[in-house]
Amino acid sequence: MRKISDTIAKLAALRARHATLTADLRASDDLQTLTDFGDDPGALGAKFYIPNDVSTVASLVVVLHGCTQNAAGYNHHSGWSQLADEAGFALLFPEQQRGNNPNLCFNWFQPGDAKRGSGEALSIRQMIETMVVTHGLDRRRIFITGLSAGGAMAAAMLATYPEVFASGAIIAGLPYGSATTIPEAFDRMRGHGGPSEQDLQRTLRGASNHQGPWPRISIWHGAADHTVSPSNAEAIAGQWRGVHRLEKAPTHREVAGSHGKQVWRNGAGEALIEINMIAGMGHGTPLGIGLGAPGPYMIDVGISSTREIAQFWGIAATEESASRKSRPQVPTSHRPLPQSPAPGIENAKAKPPQPTAIHQFPRHTELGQPGVKKIIEDALRSAGLMR
């Protein structure tokens, strides 16, 4: 009887895996492949998504999947493209390759991949620049999020390229610079050892020559996460409190069901850092009604971190407002192709994007078209992102 029950259990598990794979394959139809985004020193892949009715100068959200995941699967389960259709922002999905990491983890713990100007970090920066130039996106509204290893890599991107991002969100991730070897990475994931808060703050300040303003940070973690210790959420907040000049104690606390939140606000009342801790939740991305679908490491707890992160960033309406809003959908093949000048390479947080005549071409131009690749490479070289 045990053999029969074991066989039934294995068949059920295989059916579940097949259903997840089928859903992921369907989801891949929503994403397009980004090519010709520079010399790609980290040897990463990339997908992207542009909503049907995106505005002329839209926000860009960079989404980093976790280990064993891919871009299409994470998009499907998290609901990011659903929300992008609703709110009108563009999406970029960097994608790890097995040649870099057999478990498809971003190499957040390898100094050569998590440092400004090299490896996977530079590849992601090149992708962002290509998206901005090609699609005329708003440099002042670029955001990044990720789960687990993707969350730790998002932390690395926020630390090494803080001038690029308005805000970020780290889900079940770790602080930047907390590990520089594989054994250290496993120790930090378990919550063992690690740099002091002061050392983490020094590491963040030393990751670039940026003097501010600094990205706002939303942190999400399951209180029952046994893969990446919840202590890492507090460590991330501690790392970023220094550059934001915030006190250790949060300015606001609240609890709603299983969702506990700590918020650090500046003198003007703006939320600069928040920790969202989900009681009873293990390792994964919190999901709620209406966005995404449960799957491995994608956990339905009745709270959509995707929507709440976008609300924290200021690029999406509340669920109640969204339910009153219905947009007609236009097939991808029928999308308009407005002319949109790509902005220059300056940091647009301090300076609005300026049109540059040489980069003027339609938003949805195919990157493989003659001349477009050269335009992208010229823009990357001008920005110091490619030799």
Catalytic residues: 148
CB atoms closer than 10 angstroms to residue 215 = 27
Distance CA 69, CA 88 (A): 25
DSSP-based three-state secondary structure for 40: coil
The verdict on whether omega for the bond into residue 213 sits within 30 degrees of 0, i.e. cis, is yes
Distance CA 281, CA 233 (A): 14
Query: At a CB cut-off of 8 Å and minimum separation 6, what does 304 contact?
Result: 79, 286, 287, 288, 289, 290, 291, 292, 319
- Whole-angstrom distance, CA of residue 1 vs CA of residue 304: 41
What is the residue whose two structure tokens read 């501010």?
212
Please check whether residue 8 is in contact with residue 97, taking contact to mean a CB–CB distance below 8 angstroms.
Answer: no
The strand pair at 142-147 and 167-171 is best described as: parallel
Rounded Cα gap, residues 295 and 300, in angstroms: 9
Cα 136 to Cα 91: distance, rounded to the nearest angstrom: 13
Q: Judging by beta carbons within 10 Å of its beta carbon (0-12, 13-18, 19+), is residue 132 exposed, middle or buried?
A: buried
Q: Looking at this protein, which amino acid is placed at residue 10?
A: K
Q: How far apart are CA 255 and CA 276, in angstroms?
A: 10
Phi and psi of 383, rounded to 5°?
A: -85, 0
Return the DSSP state at 295.
Answer: B
Q: Using CA atoms, how far apart are residues 290 and 78, in angstroms rounded to an integer?
A: 10
Tokens standing for 13? 């598990």
Contact 255, 313 (CB under 8 A): no
> How far is it, in rounded angstroms, from Cα 49 to Cα 60?
10
What DSSP character marks residue 100? T
